[in-house]
A and B are shown apart, each in its own frame.
Chain A
């Protein structure tokens, strides 16, 4: 379901935006428009939608119009043309009063430089939205404290923002946005001002939080690694226009233009990384000799797996079994697993480049086994860990 629909959105800075849009549509370049006509393009005709519950990362270098775009969504910046629909409500048509109501009920926003109110305590910051909404003091404080706990800031509610570190300040920013329980989180380079280690922590925590709260998140970033790690889908922008929309794999594997290619190239480690770098340890396997159907099923259950690799004593990979077949075998009274092993499974060797793995793993219904030259099982790759490993630079 589409939560946010953006259609042909323009933001032109200058005295005659309508005229400038016409020129743009006729093919005038952004530079010409600025130099010859005195209009700057913030957003130049952008259309996309955001699905309920997804993290959409809008990525681009500075000046690509991504911050302007996100501010058009809640009309902190008034769009010059185009239509924005949220839950079927046309945002552009709202009066000031209606807009304030929508901002209070649907949007939470997190800012690059935190934008906390320095004269208010952490709790007062967190409850700001509720205060504006007119929730009574006791109740809003209760909610604020709950949200602060959610972001790991219990015990700091009476401090002032200046007394906290950057990472903690942005947690307050997040708490302030979450306290209204909005459907949509707009995050404008929310983690860009944090140092790399803390940034990575905050990204993990955001993903964690998203598991629990399932918001629709529009995340602005200039960092490809961040986009790959967080985004369900990525919108890549340049000069106020969208260059490519797609899943992280799409962007990495099928760059739409030379620009995306170059962009991805700089940070793309999939060519240098091999299976060995991105694989995970195998937690458990079933042994060809020792495990019968009952033992194999128990191992699957303990680890929450639906499939299990079968190895010999020396760790040589034989094949794979599924939970379904194994329980059938158990009912039949089979003593060992030989009947149900699927031997024809995809494997890669430890030195396979990560870029090739993308193609193999795409649509593969089971985890990809990584083996060495002697066909011994070395590790396993699943789609999620592959992306995470790339996002973190393969460390």
Chain B
């Protein structure tokens, strides 16, 4: 007998619902997109207002003030100078702005969600599988629906970057709070702390190093998205790499790639220092 199992219309379903959202709500996201785009432009303009050397010296001074480590200062100064020398300064600022904004949005979403998941067992059970899904889904896939909602360009890139990079922020915030030793939580309870006092006086301060590690992860993931984001017109260093791929210019590709590595190293060292707490060892 000829019996055929009908194909599950998974893709069709998703497409339908995205289409529905698109036709009904995309005017909101488009408006947001215009706003954010304007903000990014202002930010990049601000960052490139002075001579690049001013920026380089500021970053170097800041890293010295924060870390007091010669290695970090050298990486900052030599690395950024090299970027300038290679003529990649403006794409680098584009990328930096994109990464910082994506990280900022990720933290804005990730911290409260992480806290909520840590304190609420049911929320934890719902949120964790969603995070697994978000992280294992190939990042390219997020680009496709991003375009109808936000149009080609930086905002769509930030959107997919946030989806890709928010999970560690949530996860590590949650972990940081959950791993506060239970006897300390008990002590806080025994002295009559309410949930808010417990959170702000004990759990968040104790979780800070872990949360900072989460931010660090978020930044690194955001950076790893820049090349992918370049495919929908995000420009920046990723755009340079993307151009090099299309023209098969390995030299140019490596130059832009090294630029990304330098940004990653500088951000990483600075964030690691922020995450350290002096007296906890």
Chain A positions within 8 Å of B, measured between CB atoms, are 74, 76, 99-104, 107, 109, 111, 113, 115-119, 128-129, 131-133, 160, 162-163, 176, 180, 186
Known: A76-B186, A160-B279. A132 touches B192 (CB 8 A): yes
Q: How far is the CB of B104 from chain A (nearest CB, A)?
A: 25
Known: A111-B186, A131-B201. A119 touches B277 (CB 8 A): yes
- B141 close to chain A: CB less than 8 A: no
Known: A119-B205, A119-B277. A76 touches B192 (CB 8 A): no
Q: Please tell me if the beta carbons of A117 and B192 are within 8 angstroms of each other in the complex.
A: no
Q: Please tell me if the beta carbons of B191 and A128 are within 8 angstroms of each other in the complex.
A: yes
- For A74, the closest partner residue in chain B by CB is B190
- B197 close to chain A: CB less than 8 A: yes
Give bound CA distance, A393 to B235, whole Å. 81
Contact of A104 among B187, B192, B277 (CB under 8 A): B192
- Residues of chain B with a CB closer than 8 A to A160's CB: 279
- B132 close to chain A: CB less than 8 A: no
Q: How far is the CB of A67 from chain B (nearest CB, A)?
A: 11
Known: A119-B206, A119-B279. A129 touches B191 (CB 8 A): yes
Give bound CA distance, A253 to B103, whole Å. 71
Known: A100-B192, A132-B192. A115 touches B280 (CB 8 A): no
- Residues of chain B with a CB closer than 8 A to A74's CB: 190
- B12 close to chain A: CB less than 8 A: no
Q: What is the count of residue pairs linking A and B with beta-carbon distances less than 8 angstroms?
A: 63
- B15 close to chain A: CB less than 8 A: no
Give bound CA distance, A132 to B181, whole Å. 20
Q: Please tell me if the beta carbons of A132 and B280 are within 8 angstroms of each other in the complex.
A: no
Interface pairs A-B: 3 shortest CB-CB: A103-B192, A104-B192, A115-B187
Contact of B187 among A99, A101, A109, A119 (CB under 8 A): A109
- B231 close to chain A: CB less than 8 A: no
- B202 close to chain A: CB less than 8 A: yes
- Residues of chain B with a CB closer than 8 A to A117's CB: 184, 187, 201-202, 206
- Residues of chain B with a CB closer than 8 A to A128's CB: 188, 191, 201
Q: Please tell me if the beta carbons of B192 and A101 are within 8 angstroms of each other in the complex.
A: yes
Contact of A111 among B187, B193, B206, B280 (CB under 8 A): B187
Give bound CA distance, A107 to B205, whole Å. 25
Give bound CA distance, A169 to B182, whole Å. 18
Contact of B183 among A99, A113, A186 (CB under 8 A): A113
Give bound CA distance, A109 to B190, whole Å. 7
- Residues of chain A with a CB closer than 8 A to B2's CB: none
- Residues of chain A with a CB closer than 8 A to B280's CB: 118-119, 162
Give bound CA distance, A49 to B68, whole Å. 60
Q: Please tell me if the beta carbons of A180 and B191 are within 8 angstroms of each other in the complex.
A: yes
Give bound CA distance, A107 to B190, whole Å. 8
Q: Please tell me if the beta carbons of B281 and A162 are within 8 angstroms of each other in the complex.
A: yes
Known: A117-B202, A160-B279. A100 touches B194 (CB 8 A): yes
Give bound CA distance, A113 to B184, whole Å. 10
- B189 close to chain A: CB less than 8 A: yes
Give bound CA distance, A160 to B30, whole Å. 52
- Residues of chain A with a CB closer than 8 A to B197's CB: 132
- For B279, the closest partner residue in chain A by CB is A160
8 A Cβ contacts from B170-222 to A: 181, 183-184, 186-194, 197, 201-202, 205-206
Q: Please tell me if the beta carbons of A111 and B191 are within 8 angstroms of each other in the complex.
A: no
| Most-contacted residue by chain B among A99, A118, A133 (CB, 10 A) | A118
- Residues of chain A with a CB closer than 8 A to B184's CB: 115, 117
Q: Please tell me if the beta carbons of A129 and B202 are within 8 angstroms of each other in the complex.
A: no
- Residues of chain B with a CB closer than 8 A to A133's CB: 192
